[in-house]
Structure 1
């Protein structure tokens, strides 16, 4: 943010800190110029192989949104004045991949009511599902930013589909990648990403594009298309 002059969005999870530590992080971040925060609950430590670690989860994502809203109103989570009001731009996560659509929409409603200003989705590979999701979420009247993670290998596709929390690939996308073979899978992965981008450009407020394994080169054309 300081070097490039581009605003950043901090992805903040409540998993590893108690409420006092969270408050300290938020106030300190605001002093350092952090304004945009995506509020996340965080995955269980065991999913990352840390079976001996206990999660804290003093609060969840909805409560974190509410805490940020209170700081914007000039008070902490107890209602005590903290001086000048903060100016956080508060984000909530959304998962268009879930089959539990009613529950997901209810969670989004709670986040909106708690004070969210925008939503960012989990990465998705099904353009039809994304289109239905975006149509059903217009009632929140909040901008939605769609996640895009281009697939570069068959192994990555299988990992995301079977092991990544909250991510599924539709069978037709998996079949397209299999047919492409290892030599063509990266190109097909970008083609699938373009399908998602087309829906997002028509119906969402924007996209965020995630590089795989720190490889930014394959994304240059996709970023250019997103900006057009």
Structure 2
């Protein structure tokens, strides 16, 4: 039996052991081979502590996040965090996923509600559990995998939306279920991260950012409930190069709020080069 590599050992490191994290979301391509993973590893290796992979993003079938992170771990050192959603599975399958990840050395998870299933997929949502139930069930999978010894840690994260007025109640419910850390939705308004509960929190909260590629994305995100400050929206509307302008805005917001957060999470929507530019500057 071969010895565990340093990479696999590193995968077992928990997010909460890092004081400040630099995180990056990667969506594997739907094609043979792992060439896309190798290219990502070349671009961001050494720049990130954490790589997350979404599960069936936008309600379309995708490459399994747990297997993707395990394959990517052969190319770079990072903490792998698969997204898991109750949309597509019951509690039995969820426990199986949790134990499979632990078996491969992945012990950090990010629970999300999940996008609606895309039109044309002819599929139905499962949703036996909500997000709170999913967090609890993942924690239970550790006990079933590990017996009662408690020697293997598991960290489960959840989404946070500081722009929602009653968000503190959602945070409390998720924490009571076992959530260990939070990653925010995309931030385009620094003031939304300066609310009292963030200042007084007892958990890690990582600020999420999406570098924009096209101006129509602004309206799409606003319909999703993402708030843009008046100044930021005006700058984006007047820009002839929205990709670079949005990257500059992200860095400015990050600089404004960095003392209040535990890390930065870039969701580049396929543009690894944009993520690299931002991460090189933080």
TM > 0.5: yes
- 2:257 equivalent to 1:217: no
Residues 105 and 174 (structure 1), Cα distance of their counterparts in 2 relative to 1, 3 Å cut: same
Unmatched segments (≥5 aa) in structure 1: none
- The aligned residue for residue 56 of structure 1 is 126
Q: CA deviation at 1:87?
A: 2.0
8 Å Cα contact 1:125/1:169 also seen in 2? yes
Cα distance between partner residues in 2 of 1:53 and 1:171: 40
Could you tell me which runs of 5 or more consecutive residues in structure 2 were left unpaired when the two chains were aligned.
1-72
Post-superposition CA distance 1:52-99 (Å, at most 9, x none): 432111111111211233344x248xxxx846544211111101232x
Alignment counterpart, residue 190 of structure 1, candidates 214, 228, 247: 247
Counterpart residue number, 1:151:
212
TM-score by length of 2: 0.67
Runs of 4+ residues deviating >3 angstroms: 81-86
Partner residue, 2:262:
205
Q: Is the CA contact 1:39–1:64 (under 8 Å) kept in the aligned structure 2?
A: yes
Structure-to-structure mapping, 1:149-188, within 5 angstroms = 149-162=210-223, 165-180=224-239, 183-188=240-245
Check whether the contact 2:107–2:155 (CA below 8 A) recurs between aligned residues: yes
TM-score, normalised to structure 1, is: 0.82
- The answer for the alignment partner of 1:121 in structure 2 is 184
Q: 1: distance between equivalents of 2:89 and 2:249?
A: 37
Q: 1:14 and 2:86 equivalent?
A: yes
Match of 2:193 in 1: 130
Q: Which of 99, 102, 108 does residue 171 from structure 2 map onto?
A: 108
Tell me which of the two structures has the higher relative contact order, counting C-alpha pairs closer than 8 angstroms and 6 or more residues apart.
2
Tell me which of 36, 45, 62 is aligned to 2:108. 36
After superposing the two structures, state which structure 1 stretch, 11-20 or 167-176, moved more. Answer: 167-176
Query: Helix, strand or coil for the counterpart of 1:225?
Result: coil
Distance 2:256 2:132 in 1: 28
Q: Distance in 2 between matches of 1:161 and 1:5?
A: 35
Q: Is the 8 A contact 1:148 1:196 kept in 2?
A: no
Maintained 8 Å contact 1:200/1:206: no
Separation (CA, whole Å) in 1 of partners of 2:272 and 2:192: 27
Report the RMSD for the aligned CA atoms in angstroms: 2.2
Q: Distance in 2 between matches of 1:58 and 1:225?
A: 42
Distance 1:65 1:9, change over 3 A: same
Change (3 A) 1:28 1:61: same
